[in-house]
A and B are shown apart, each in its own frame.
Chain A
Amino acid sequence: MGAYLLRRLIAAALILLGVSFITFVLLYVLPADPVRQIAGRSATPATVESIRQQLGLDQPFLVQYGRYLAGLAQGDLGRSYLQKTDVATLIAARLPASLMLMAGGILCELALGLSMGVIAALSRGRFTDQALMMASFVTVSAPQFVVSLLLLYVFAVRLEWFPIGGYGTLAHLALPALTLGILGSGWYARMMRSSMIDVLRADFIRTARAKGLSRARVVLRHALPNAALPVIAMIGIDIGVFMGGIVVVESVFGWPGIGQLAWQAIQRVDIPIIMGVTLVSACAIVAGNLLADVIAPFIDPRITLR
């Protein structure tokens, strides 16, 4: 276990190094010149040149990347070109909002997905099952922005149950979290359904039934926990989907998280912020995958880590 973890951590560090390098290369070859953006249109060539020097953008590529890595080692993600603030500070200020949104989204998708999966498994082959599986297909086929706008229109514009956008209260959180939850629920519904069907076939369920337990008790106490655990353990893998989803959902709902930060930075070519958010997202994805792999053997002892 220790050796396995160490190896995985080293691999994760290498992957993140690679991600930082590729992102840096992409942003370095960027045709849109950030210096012009900062300096404004009326700047003289001399001003542009001095800003370029100030930001270190006149240096050769490898020197720039080396400096960036050196900063990274000290937890320094560089300074925003336009906001004149440390990127790390900006991201840290935005992170709680994004984490809250993710937590809400995960809660929604588990609640929706698991109940859909259980109901489908119990009514296997019947109309309810088919309708739920069709619904799960629709949720994986819907783009984030359409679901966002649909929920906004129905629940905020028409019914006026929730605010149209913004941040602060649980009511603000409801619609963006529900958007993420609906989008992720289809995947969980399918996994939960097949996991539940497998468990319902198992010998210990037959034993429980033979003991004379009620159907509800067999399903809720014996089958559900066993079926749900491996599905819930997959949350880690889902983080990657979330990291992409929050860019769109946060922009539509005006949710002040790192997704919105990234989107604003992309529009203004504020490279250090784009770079920082990409790295933070990649960290989250790598950590999520690692987490999913590490807890797997605890849930299913037949799995061994190699």
Chain B
Amino acid sequence: MTMPPLAGPPLAPPPLAAPIRPRPAGALARLMRRKLALFGMALIALVAAGAAFAPLIAPYAPDTQHFDGLTMEGAPMPPGGAFPMGTDLLGRDLFSRILYGARTSLVIGVAANGLALAIGTLVGVTAGYFRGWIGAALMRFTDLMMAFPALLLAICLAAIFQPSLWIVAMVIALVNWAQTARVINAETASLATRDFIAAERTLGASQGRILFRHILPHLAPTIIVWGTLGISTTVLLEATLSFLGVGVQPPTPSWGNIIFENQTYFQAAPWLVFIPGAAIILLALAFNLVGDALRDELDPTQRGRG
């Protein structure tokens, strides 16, 4: 599962005129040497593999209601035997539902967060680079979004629209981009005043060239860090919405809605709540660990604080 650390010949000394720029490739190698980050990456790989190969791994189809999946009294089966994680209230295999639920979590985690990141970067860069009234208006709007109680807003939106996988992803993106926009805006604004950007401008570089060749590459570390940490927030938000019944709708399994469907029975069948609950925590934890390690590696201002 885990890759060996990237061993290789010692790096040649950098050429004298090399531009000082954080190097994601080198960072990945250093990341592999951090135990917690490695643990996080292993977890992510595990969940991703489970999601990708769900049809091969899962012992049953996620929505088959097994005749022998309930006890004589009609209660769900505890873990063990034919059902490794037990069955739910309808006699469906929990392990299979967890595997398919990983798809929901990852798809929403990546899609919703990617969209939030794109909106946040677009708003942040535009406001930070062009300033003027457009920049001011964009950042005031960002402030406004930050004043919304995010979870309440997400619940409202999800309840308003008939929730589906993609609606939920969009709702999460809509409430989650503001933080990224703020960080990217601050960074772009400080980059834009740096001498090398002024030099580029003096040399006659076009706005597009400055933005795409010089500003964006310097923002890459920030975007990578916030992108990773953001997936964790997104996974939690999706689970919470689904738990409240306004997220991903059954029968599509999601770790949140597995708990939603079974919570009335949780005193007698705690595994129905705590196995999906543990899955949510582990996945969110994994992205937090990797994101935090990335921040340590990629953001020089944070280095040495650990």
CB neighbours of B155 from chain A (8 A) = 247, 262-263, 266
CB neighbours of A149 from chain B (8 A) = 259, 263, 266, 273-274, 277
Tell me the complex Cα distance, A10–B273, Å.
46
How extensive is the interface on chain A, given as a class? 35 or more
Tell me the complex Cα distance, A65–B240, Å.
31
**Nearest chain-A residue to B232 (Cβ)?**
A141
How extensive is the interface on chain B, given as a class? 35 or more
User: Smallest distance from the beta carbon of A195 to chain B beta carbons, Å?
Assistant: 11
User: Smallest distance from the beta carbon of A95 to chain B beta carbons, Å?
Assistant: 15
Cβ A285 vs Cβ B240 within 8 A: no
Cβ A141 vs Cβ B236 within 8 A: yes
CB neighbours of A150 from chain B (8 A) = 274, 277
Task: Among A144, A251, A278, point to the contact of B149 (Cβ < 8 A).
Answer: A278
Q: Which of A176-228 contact B (CB under 8 A)?
A: 194, 197
Tell me the complex Cα distance, A298–B157, Å.
40
Chain A, interface SS category: helix
Q: Is A26 an interface residue (CB 8 A)?
A: yes
Cβ A240 vs Cβ B150 within 8 A: yes
Q: Is B285 an interface residue (CB 8 A)?
A: yes
Tell me the complex Cα distance, A146–B280, Å.
9
Cβ B148 vs Cβ A282 within 8 A: yes
Task: Among A14, A30, A146, A267, point to the contact of B281 (Cβ < 8 A).
Answer: A146
Tell me the complex Cα distance, A137–B229, Å.
12
Q: Is A286 an interface residue (CB 8 A)?
A: yes
Q: Is B143 an interface residue (CB 8 A)?
A: yes
CB neighbours of A31 from chain B (8 A) = 160-162
Cβ B236 vs Cβ A143 within 8 A: yes
Which residues of B come within 8 Å of A, CB atoms? 36, 140-141, 143-144, 146-153, 155-157, 159-162, 232, 236, 239-240, 243-244, 246, 256, 259, 263, 266-267, 270, 273-274, 277, 280-281, 284-285, 288-289, 292, 305
Of all A-B residue pairs in the complex, the 4 with the closest CB atoms, nearest first, are A244-B151, A141-B284, A146-B277, A141-B285
6 interchain pairs (CB within 8 A)? A19-B144, A140-B288, A143-B236, A146-B273, A149-B277, A240-B150
